[in-house]
């Protein structure tokens, strides 16, 4: 398991939780103390580590570690999820789509985020107003998604699709700095 701020999961409850977390405005919060940093980094290395092992690493009781991990999860600091390789579970096409939009960008982003194939929906500055990362079964699925779903959303003016040829690096272990 890995920890990431957006996740891939099959549980509807986890998906709802993930979506709510993703929609929560990200603001710089209180910096993590050293124990919380150690917990996050240990779980990024192995999200299945037991509370007992974590407690031994950080010098707290198992109950204290359980409470801290729960708070980190509840506060949206981290998620513990199973990260799959899309190719091995039947999704052979990944792409990034740059979107130029008009009107209320937040409303466009909200409509886009309802599409299950979209893993990330990001409001950004630069050539595009939004970037979305998506995972599809094949090129036909990608074409249907672009034509019937993304481009039909009110406010989407123009798209540019960047098809992934090979994923060279994917990591969610950026630590806590």
- Domains of the chain, with CATH numbers? 2-81 (1.10.10.10), 86-163 (3.30.70.920)
For 120-167, the pLDDT digits (tens) are: 999 999 999 999 999 999 999 999 999 999 999 999 999 999 999 988
> Higher pLDDT residue, 28 or 66?
66
Residue 113: name the closest of 99, 94, 127, 132 by CA: 132
pTM of the predicted model as reported, rounded to 2 decimal places:
0.68
Q: Which residue do the tokens 């801290």 mark?
A: 68
Q: Measuring CA to CA, how many Å separate 134 from each of 10, 42, 85, 107, 111?
A: 16, 29, 13, 19, 15
């Amino acid at each position: 398991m890995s920890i990431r701020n957006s996740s891939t999961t099959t549980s509807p409850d986890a998906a709802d939780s993930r979506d709510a977390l993703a929609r929560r405005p990200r603001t710089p919060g209180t910096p993590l103390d050293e124990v919380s940093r150690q917990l996050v980094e240990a779980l990024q290395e192995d999200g299945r580590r037991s509370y007992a092992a974590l407690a031994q690493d950080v010098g707290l009781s198992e109950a204290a570690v359980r409470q801290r991990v729960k708070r980190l999860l509840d506060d949206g600091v981290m998620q513990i999820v199973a990260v799959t390789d899309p190719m091995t579970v039947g999704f052979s096409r990944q792409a990034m789509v740059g979107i130029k939009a008009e009107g209320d960008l937040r409303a466009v982003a909200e409509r886009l985020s309802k599409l299950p194939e979209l893993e990330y929906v990001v409001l950004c500055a630069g050539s595009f107003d939004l970037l979305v990362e998506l995972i599809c079964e094949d090129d036909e699925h990608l074409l249907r998604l672009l034509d019937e779903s993304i481009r039909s959303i009110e406010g989407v003016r123009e798209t540019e699709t960047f098809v992934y040829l090979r994923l060279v690096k994917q990591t969610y272990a950026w630590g806590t700095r």
